[in-house]
Structure 1
Amino acid sequence: MKDLTKGRPSVLILTFALPIFLANLLQLTYSLADTRIVGTFLGDNALAAVGATTTLSNLIVQFLMGMCNGFAIISAQCFGAKDMDRLRRSLGNSLVLGLLAAVVLTIGGLVFLQPILRFLNVPENLLNTATQYVSVIIAGLVVTLLYDVLAATLRAIGDTVTPLIVLAVSVVLNIGGDLLLIVVLHMGVLGAAVATVLSQLIAVVVCAIYLWKKYVILRIRVNDLKLQDAGMLRNMLSSGLSMGFMSSLVNIGTLTLQTSINKLGQNIIIAHTAARKISEIFMIMFSVFGQTMATYCGQNLGAGKIERIRRGILLATGYTCIWCTLNIVTAYTIGDWLVWLVTGSENPEVVYNATLYLKVDTLFYYVTAVICIVRNAMQGLGERIVPLISSSLEMIGKIVIAATLVPMFGYPGVIAAEPIVWFIMIIPLLIKILRMPVWKQKT
């Protein structure tokens, strides 16, 4: 456990963020390895089929993850206030609420999968392969949810090392499962999806056993599973749904943009898949310090130590801006090599378009860094509305661009989409944070 309400903010933030960074890096390593394995052993058609549906699976998975992180903010506040009974009850309520949401999304996703894939304009020759892959991912949402709840709760009490170790085991099993099911057993993209779900299931079991043995304060009882505390339930739903929908709004915009990308041909689908995979690595620090700020602000708010919050936000923003500069240098020096590394493709159209995406969008990452830090800090401070407004602007912006710039300019319109919406969505965040009492108070 790590108490973020005591000690130097700079040291606390970095030591808390490092395991989250390594965990996210491991997750991205698997994602890249999965992409490369599919591309190398199953070919461009399979890679395009997976890429064409990635935004759909991300939409659902990120909603659940955002919701669990929102629940964990309440847990962080309880931990900061040293109220262990409420902390335990928040974990029990997180499991119940999360499982209800996961079951609903699983049923809805499987029932309406074909209409959704056709809405995404998935090419007819990729439809069957895409269906095989994404249906298994959706069927495993309950497993995904359980891991998210446990990992988020551990981070809420300051333990970022355990989720890292569990994830490392899961990633190794996942990659091994990919090679076994795809290369040896010849299960195709279905094997990649099955390997993902099975490795997550093992991660859940390991994490649950460790949590039960290590943390007595988190050993929930039957009463902790009952949704009987109206105040806590209201706060958890407000925080969880706010962060869940915030993630969903972002991904709905990306999903809509993908419908236009899927019309541009297989090479562009592969190029964009590669560009987004690399962008996920480039943007890793944004989510790392965003998660850190949500917990840091939540704990300090619960402890009533408001004066520490502003300094934490400034430090996290500074760290991510340094990372942005490194991203720009990387994109302009080895961007094309990274595209080949991810896809294994030497197709000039794929390499050129993916590299162009990286070179243009990294120039504006500083804006994204501020967005991620401020938005998550606001969630930790209990501000739910403005982050949703900001995410709504991103969704609307991408929908408009998908309907206008992409048909007019093709893939360059897609490349322009991100920077345009970033500049729009940062406006309400800056206006709100500068007006909040926590920002005006001297440190």
Structure 2
Amino acid sequence: MTKETLLTGKPWRGILTFMLPVFLGLLLQQFYNTADTIIVGNFSGEAALAAVGACSVLTMAFLALASGFSTGACVLIARLYGAGRTEQMRRQASSALIVMVGMGIAATAVGVLISRFALRYILDTPESLLDMADTYFKIYALGLVFQFGYNIVSAILRGVGDSKATLYFLLIASVLNVVLDVLFVYNFRMGVAGAAIATDIAQIGSCAAAFLYMMKKYPVFRWKWRAFTFELPLATLTLQRGFPMALQQLIVSVGFVFLQRAVNSYGEAMTASFTVAQKVETYMTLPASALMTTQSTYTAQNLGAGRPDRVITGAKHTVAISETISICILAAAYLFAEHIVALFRLGPEATGYCTAHIRCAAVCLISFASYFPLLGLFQGANNALYATFVATGALAVRVLSTYMLQEIPAIGYHMIWWNMLFGWGVGCLLTWVHFFRGKWRSAAVIQTGAGLA
């Protein structure tokens, strides 16, 4: 990917070129997460599968911090790259790296310390699953520092237009994770502990590959020891720009605490079903998520280059691409839902729940795909707080509708999945109203003491 691809030529072509490696990278990332679910479900049983699923909210929360703050750094790097300010970009990347690695070390310590308390008192994990869930998450948390390291390097590379790199790193992680899952869970019968160890080793592999690739391919990021500097104003800027994105994703994670509690109240079958359905739902939303990441970088680079006219055109092209893909996914997911669920070998009750959940998500996907990529535009235009507002509103509606409407006998547990219709509908409305009102344009001019314009 070159600078000219996002800054010149037809927007849809540059967006698709950048988006495809991002999408494939996310697909591989999700694949190795799903490998845990399939292998644990097949070789350790439904209870072990439910235990891994019970940790999903916690893993999402830490990923939100790693991904959110890294996305903020990506926007800063992209803006400087578009403006051709190489030296400041180099210093910004150096400070962002140090901040994120430090946060990763802290996250590892916190994750190990809060694991059992959070699972028992916050997520209300069933007692029968608590020990397995605690074992899984404590081991998983040991790899968080490498997750933070990988995310910040990938963000820097995306900022300079290299979206293909993450695909290579995640390919390494995916292969490692699947091979080690089979080895530890099936051959060594290590259960959930084996699945967590496999994930940690995969994280280490992708993080090491990312650092080596960046240092070798980009001389501007090939720091010598004295050139690898930490500048407080630039580090603060990374945190300021990343905070709205991290908050957005963290709110989603916290909101899922309440959804997970509602799920757990229906027993192990519903918990196992929700675990699988969430995995499949994530696959269905990956194209829109990849387009959001693409739109954020595209917007930041073009604004940095002084081309706001291309931002509007790019947004329209992005939404059109997103909706076209989502219609194809809707048809495939609705038709093959039962075959997809069969891969996880759930019991009859959980299978029924999961099939209905997946079909509902497929229908609601049209709404999600129409607005989610535009959140990337707001992020790239320094209007990330509104994206956070949208995410908060959408999730609040999902949680409230679940707890209020599940009390109606005719609806009951069906709200575990139909809450998407209400939440994503509100997100769609809030996003498009803001886009057409155009107030996000005024936030596109960044004024900071660090000199980023």
Structure 2 CA distance for aligned equivalents of residues 283 and 395 of structure 1 = 15
Q: Which residue of 2 aligns with 1:181?
A: 184
Structure 2 CA distance for aligned equivalents of residues 224 and 236 of structure 1 = 16
Structure 1 CA distance for aligned equivalents of residues 26 and 210 of structure 2 = 17
Structure 2 CA distance for aligned equivalents of residues 27 and 415 of structure 1 = 24
Q: Which residue of 2 aligns with 1:220?
A: 223
Please tell me the residue identity of whatever aligns with 1:326.
C
| Contact 1:297–1:380 (8 Å) recurs in 2 | yes
Offset at residue 234 of structure 1 (A): 4.6
Q: Which residue of 2 aligns with 1:389?
A: 389
C-alpha deviations, 1:283-328, integer Å up to 9, x for none? 1101110110011011001111111111111111011111121122
SS of aligned partner of 2:55:
helix
Distance 1:115 1:410, change over 3 A: farther
Give the CA RMSD over aligned residues.
1.8
Please tell me the residue identity of whatever aligns with 2:194.
G
Structure 1 CA distance for aligned equivalents of residues 114 and 12 of structure 2 = 47
Q: Which residue of 1 aligns with 2:205?
A: 202
Q: Which residue of 2 aligns with 1:62?
A: 64
Distance 1:370 1:97, change over 3 A: farther
- Is 1:419 aligned to 2:409, yes or no? no
C-alpha deviations, 1:399-443, integer Å up to 9, x for none? 423533345444211112112111223333222222227879xxx
Offset at residue 127 of structure 1 (A): 0.5
Structure 2 CA distance for aligned equivalents of residues 240 and 333 of structure 1 = 39
Structure 1 CA distance for aligned equivalents of residues 373 and 103 of structure 2 = 27
Matching of residues 299-314 of structure 1 within 5 Å:
299-314=301-316
Q: Which residue of 2 aligns with 1:268?
A: 270
Structure 2 CA distance for aligned equivalents of residues 338 and 187 of structure 1 = 26
* Unmatched runs of 5 consecutive residues or more in structure 1: none
Q: Which residue of 2 aligns with 1:251?
A: 253
| Contact 2:96–2:235 (8 Å) recurs in 1 | no
| Contact 1:242–1:388 (8 Å) recurs in 2 | yes
Distance 1:407 1:71, change over 3 A: farther
Offset at residue 384 of structure 1 (A): 2.3
TM-score (norm 2): 0.92
Offset at residue 253 of structure 1 (A): 1.1
| Contact 1:293–1:313 (8 Å) recurs in 2 | yes
* Unmatched runs of 5 consecutive residues or more in structure 2: 443-453
- Is 1:160 aligned to 2:180, yes or no? no
Q: Which residue of 1 aligns with 2:367?
A: 367
Offset at residue 132 of structure 1 (A): 0.7
Please tell me the residue identity of whatever aligns with 1:89.
R
TM-score (norm 1): 0.94
Q: Which residue of 2 aligns with 1:2?
A: 2
Q: Which residue of 2 aligns with 1:321?
A: 323
Offset at residue 185 of structure 1 (A): 2.1
Structure 1 CA distance for aligned equivalents of residues 145 and 185 of structure 2 = 24
| Contact 1:69–1:152 (8 Å) recurs in 2 | yes
Distance 1:37 1:214, change over 3 A: same
Identity percentage of aligned residues:
28
Q: Which residue of 2 aligns with 1:18?
A: 20
Please tell me the residue identity of whatever aligns with 1:36.
I
Offset at residue 65 of structure 1 (A): 1.0
1:94 alignment partner, one of 93, 96, 99 = 96
Please tell me the residue identity of whatever aligns with 1:153.
I
1:127 alignment partner, one of 112, 126, 130 = 130
Structure 1 CA distance for aligned equivalents of residues 384 and 27 of structure 2 = 28
- Is 1:352 aligned to 2:352, yes or no? yes
Offset at residue 96 of structure 1 (A): 1.9
Distance 1:53 1:264, change over 3 A: same
Distance 1:439 1:245, change over 3 A: closer
| Contact 2:35–2:181 (8 Å) recurs in 1 | no
1:103 alignment partner, one of 92, 98, 105 = 105
SS of aligned partner of 1:98:
helix
Please tell me the residue identity of whatever aligns with 2:223.
I
| Contact 1:30–1:171 (8 Å) recurs in 2 | yes
Distance 1:407 1:189, change over 3 A: farther
| Contact 2:108–2:142 (8 Å) recurs in 1 | yes
Please tell me the residue identity of whatever aligns with 1:171.
S
Structure 2 CA distance for aligned equivalents of residues 419 and 238 of structure 1 = 33
Q: Which residue of 2 aligns with 1:48?
A: 50
Offset at residue 161 of structure 1 (A): 1.6
Please tell me the residue identity of whatever aligns with 1:78.
L
Please tell me the residue identity of whatever aligns with 1:363.
V
Structure 2 CA distance for aligned equivalents of residues 63 and 233 of structure 1 = 15
| Contact 1:405–1:414 (8 Å) recurs in 2 | no
